[in-house]
Chains A and B, each alone.
Chain A
Amino acid sequence: QQQVKQSPQSLIVQKGGISIINCAYENTAFDYFPWYQQFPGKGPALLIAIRPDVSEKKEGRFTISFNKSAKQFSLHIMDSQPGDSATYFCAAKYSGAGSYQLTFGKGTKLSVIP
């Protein structure tokens, strides 16, 4: 059972445009939602994360929008740059005691073209 569904699988955006990646989750116990960025040959790196008590979090050009009622969250990359070309993974986690496992989406390969 896939608990975090991510779309699109791939995305091509012009330089300066907005990249939008969407995720939906099923488990209402999830209470921590990070996004990871992975470049080829590297491990995933934490980009930005949000808890469900806020609807939006912004860090530089990266914004997470969160819709608790719809059980959806999305990553927006403003003014996309070629250096943003990477694979992006959304994830979800339950923060209860003894819980450590992240559930990942299937990833979105972003290509930003000049």
Chain B
Amino acid sequence: SAVISQKPSRDICQRGTSLTIQCQVDSQVTMMFWYRQQPGQSLTLIATANQGSEATYESGFVIDKFPISRPNLTFSTLTVSNMSPEDSSIYLCSVSRGGVIGTEAFFGQGTRLTVV
């Protein structure tokens, strides 16, 4: 398994500001993933962060809005920039590890963001 710590666990932010979310993993991992989960909805992958290279963003997500850093194999940050109320969501950090029958994904507890 993997122990993933996210900070902050929740925040209320003013529109137009930015918030940086931190993700710390208990051991080294190659890939880290950032998801968004809007209230009552499923998980949508924002980007994949590989240490030492630029993050790969999914359709609909851009680096200017969601810049990601990956300075080492156990840490990553996601910044939500120039926030609007539509950015109110739960943001989840995830890592993958090889399991018995396949690659298993593990998630942090999430950061609940409310933009007012």
Q: Are A46 and B106 within 8 A (Cβ)? A: yes
Q: Are B103 and A95 within 8 A (Cβ)? A: yes
| Nearest Cβ on chain A to B42's Cβ, whole angstroms | 5
Residues of B within 8 A of A95 (CB): 102-103
With an 8 Å Cβ cutoff, the count of chain B residues facing the other chain is 24
Residues of A within 8 A of B104 (CB): 34, 46, 49
Residues of B within 8 A of A100 (CB): 31, 33, 48, 96, 103
Q: Does B12 contact A (CB under 8 A)?
A: no
The main secondary structure of chain B at its interface with chain A is strand
Which residue of B31, B41, B112 is within 8 Å of A107 (Cβ)? B41
Q: Are A104 and B102 within 8 A (Cβ)? A: no
Q: Are A43 and B110 within 8 A (Cβ)? A: yes
Q: Complex Cα distance A101/B4, Å?
A: 18
**Chain B proximity mask over A63-94: 1 for CB below 8 Å, otherwise 0:** 00000000000000000000000000100010
Q: Does A106 contact B (CB under 8 A)?
A: yes
Binding site for B on A (CB under 8 A): 31-32, 34, 41-46, 49-51, 89, 93, 95, 100-102, 104-107
Binding site for A on B (CB under 8 A): 4, 31, 33, 40-43, 45, 48, 92, 94, 96, 99, 101-110, 112
